[in-house]
Amino acid sequence: MKAPVYCPDPWLYHRRLTREVQVGKVGVGGTNPIRVQSMLTCDTMDTAECIQQTLDLVKVGCEIVRITAPTVKDSKNLRLIKEGLLERGCDVPIVADIHFKPEAALEAAQWVEKVRINPGNYADSKKFVVKEYSDDQYLEELQRIRERFTPLVKLCQERGISIRIGTNHGSLSDRIMNRYGDTPLGMVESALEFARIARDLGYHAFIFSMKASNPKVMISAYRLLASRLYAEGPDWNYPLHLGVTEAGDGEDGRIKSAIGIGSLLADGLGDTIRVSLTEDSVHEIPVAQTLVAPYNAGNAVSAENAGNETNHQSRITNHASRLTSHFSPLATHGEALPYDPFHFEKRATEKIQADGVDLGGEELIRVAISRSNFEKIAHKVDKMGDFKPEIVVEDSGVIALDPRDSRKIAEINDNAEACLVTVTDGIDLPTITAFRLLAAQLEARHPILLKDTLIPSRDSGKEFVEALLESATNLGALICDGIGDVILVQGEEAAGQSLRLAYNILQAAGSRIFKTDYVACPSCGRTLFNLQTTTARIKAETTHLKGVKIAIMGCIVNGPGEMADADFGYVGGAPGKVNLYVGKTAVKFNIPEVEAVHRLVDLIKEHGRWIEKPAEPAQVMAQSAVPVP
């Protein structure tokens, strides 16, 4: 399908070239490496703890540190935090995270190197009000926003500091929701309104972000934004900050982050990233470093991170060589893409049988395994419940080919019956490129078996997290493109882990729900309870509720919005108090935290979604088992 430009080249990696925006000593965009950042989890008024957490983050390679500033009082304390860091020889750039209060932003901008504002709540309130705006009324609202935003832009301009215009899917304003809906388009328009104000004032030191907890929404929003920026003209070449918000913890959080962030990086989009995990912030940095490392190969690297890069050099070199392989996709340039970059639509294949299993058409995406791995677990397949392999590749009749082999593809397309097709291992193409090229030339009726890598792992010592991130990036990107009817994880040698990884990728991509789904935000100074322990307690009670989606939010900033497609929500309402939601409607208020988890269980029971925990051990396969680094 023909589509507007959204990346330099959807067939082969080329990074989108942007203008450079300076964040303190750190350049973002341009020819700089893709930067890694994180956020503090403590109270902003706890100066000593903020300083220590910042030092801990910098020690593990964090290049930019964000601190929430929910009030003017918190913003004033950023001065003490900044002074304390400088006294300790740390000049890492600090970003003030602002929601709701322009006054807090104006105070914070005096002390930090960057201010993040959320267009959905910087000058708007969110009351879920349904209202039709006439064009004149809408222009009046934009003028009001201009009056509230202009003082911050001018102050940042005077001080030479930057701004992130950070849209969140969960906190779009009522005005945007009423005109554009809860959509990627609404996210993009929300950000562009603020960008136009900044540009009118001659200010260009800003960075965009389009965060969502749903990777499909997040990917679509960033692609749509990039497309709009290309269309606006060459001087709209602003950097992008990538992130999946409320990703959660453990394997689930890492997989969801890799699907969203990794797939966009593979398309050449993104200049700085933050992996948001419901864990201590230092655990986010190795994940982010692994995601950006292949794309930073050959770029200049800051001295303080040189050691971290050296540790990954062998893997970077191998991955980079695949990204810049001998493949020349000239024949595909100008051709229709085999997917719509801005709207998810599953590739319309025919239903067939493979190894006795229905696949394609309206069937669920199936999970395959190699015969050698199947033999390792054959004795316990009957006890694996929902998480067992469904197809043995060697028994499936799948046709493996090089997608550049036009003769072979023509033969398959001439076949009256639909066939299961995949890409041959070992060819010199990046995985995403290979399968996109296959989908572009193969008639849509033929189902496709996706692989996470074209170089099967034979390394029993390979770090599981490394395999997880590569698998989630490659499979997740293709699944979110609507490509794929069967998936095979072969980047992880262990049979059991490869199966769990396959199912967890399908769950995170929203393509196959086989266990409880959680949307859990990372901690920050706005959080009104301990997110890590609370999330663990909620999971302990509810992990057996297959198909139920539970949102766990530390505060109201993104709560109702990100819970739009959740069944139940657990949201911090006040210190020590929790509000419970059904969908995005609050139904129980100010529940003492010590009672809240049990009251959540009662709420699930009231709505007929509760089942008793099963006695069998099959549940173990679904759980997040990645060790915290």
Q: What band does 128 get if pLDDT is binned at 50, 70 and 90? A: low
- What secondary structure does DSSP assign to 381-448, as a single string? GGG-GGGS--EEGGGTTPEEE-TT-HHHHHHHHH-SS---EEEPTT-SS-HHHHHHHHHHHS-TTS-B
- What secondary structure does DSSP assign to 325-350, as a single string? -S--GGGGTTSPPSS-SSS-----PP
What pLDDT is recorded for position 218?
96
Q: What CATH number has the domain bearing residue 60?
A: 3.20.20.20
Q: Does 8 fall in a domain?
A: no
Q: Does 157 fall in a domain?
A: yes
Q: DSSP 3-state assignment of 626?
A: coil
Q: Which of 464, 488, 508 is the last residue of a domain?
A: 508
- 498 and 382 co-located in one domain: yes
The tokens describing 520, both together, are 């859990």
Q: How far apart are CA 129 and CA 136, in angstroms?
A: 19
What burial letters (b/e) apply to 49-72, b meaning 16+ CB within 10 Å? ebbebbbbbbebbbbbbbbbbbbe
The tokens describing 139, both together, are 């222009």
DSSP state letter for 247: B
Q: Does 312 fall in a domain?
A: yes
- 351 and 471 co-located in one domain: yes
- 503 and 585 co-located in one domain: no
Q: How far apart are CA 117 and CA 243, in angstroms?
A: 15
What pLDDT is recorded for position 525?
59
Q: Which of 462, 482, 508 is the last residue of a domain?
A: 508
Q: Does 249 fall in a domain?
A: no
Among residues of the chain, what percentage have pLDDT more than 70? 87
Distances (CA, A) of 451 to 149, 368, 455: 47, 10, 10
Q: How far apart are CA 541 and CA 288, in angstroms?
A: 30
Q: How far apart are CA 318 and CA 326, in angstroms?
A: 14
- 102 and 130 co-located in one domain: no
pLDDT tens digit string along 389-416?
999 999 999 999 999 999 999 999 999 9
pLDDT tens digit string along 135-181?
898 899 999 999 999 999 999 999 999 999 999 998 888 889 888 98
pLDDT tens digit string along 223-273?
999 999 999 999 999 999 999 987 777 899 999 999 999 999 999 999 999
Q: Does 473 fall in a domain?
A: yes
pLDDT tens digit string along 11-59?
989 999 999 999 999 999 999 999 999 999 999 999 999 999 999 999 9
Q: How many residues does the chain have?
A: 629
DSSP state letter for 492: S
- 214 and 285 co-located in one domain: no
Q: What band does 554 get if pLDDT is binned at 50, 70 and 90? A: confident
Q: Structural domain tally of the chain?
A: 4
The yes-or-no verdict on residue 334 having pLDDT over 80 is no
Closest CA to 415 of 428, 404, 401, 431: 401
Q: Find out whether 430 and 325 touch, Cβ atoms under 8 Å.
A: yes
Strand partners, 211: 168
- 490 and 421 co-located in one domain: yes
Q: How far apart are CA 258 and CA 508, in angstroms?
A: 10
- 201 and 229 co-located in one domain: yes
- 93 and 231 co-located in one domain: no
pLDDT tens digit string along 70-120?
999 999 999 999 999 999 999 999 999 998 899 999 999 999 999 999 999
Q: Does 403 fall in a domain?
A: yes
- 466 and 380 co-located in one domain: yes
- 185 and 308 co-located in one domain: no
Q: How far apart are CA 481 and CA 343, in angstroms?
A: 9
- 522 and 615 co-located in one domain: yes
* Number of helical (H) and strand (E) elements in the chain, helices listed first: 20, 23
What pLDDT is recorded for position 305?
40
Q: Does 64 fall in a domain?
A: yes
- 456 and 600 co-located in one domain: no
Q: What CATH number has the domain bearing residue 527?
A: 3.30.413.10
The yes-or-no verdict on residue 467 having pLDDT over 80 is yes
Q: Which amino acid is residue 149, in one-letter code?
A: F
Give the pairing type, strands 357-359 and 352-354.
antiparallel
pLDDT tens digit string along 592-625?
988 999 999 999 999 999 998 876 544 444 444 4
Closest CA to 503 of 381, 619, 368, 387: 387
Q: Does 255 fall in a domain?
A: no
Q: What is the mean pLDDT of residues 523-538?
A: 75
Q: Which of 242, 262, 294 is the last residue of a domain?
A: 242
**Structural domain boundaries, residue 374:** 338-508
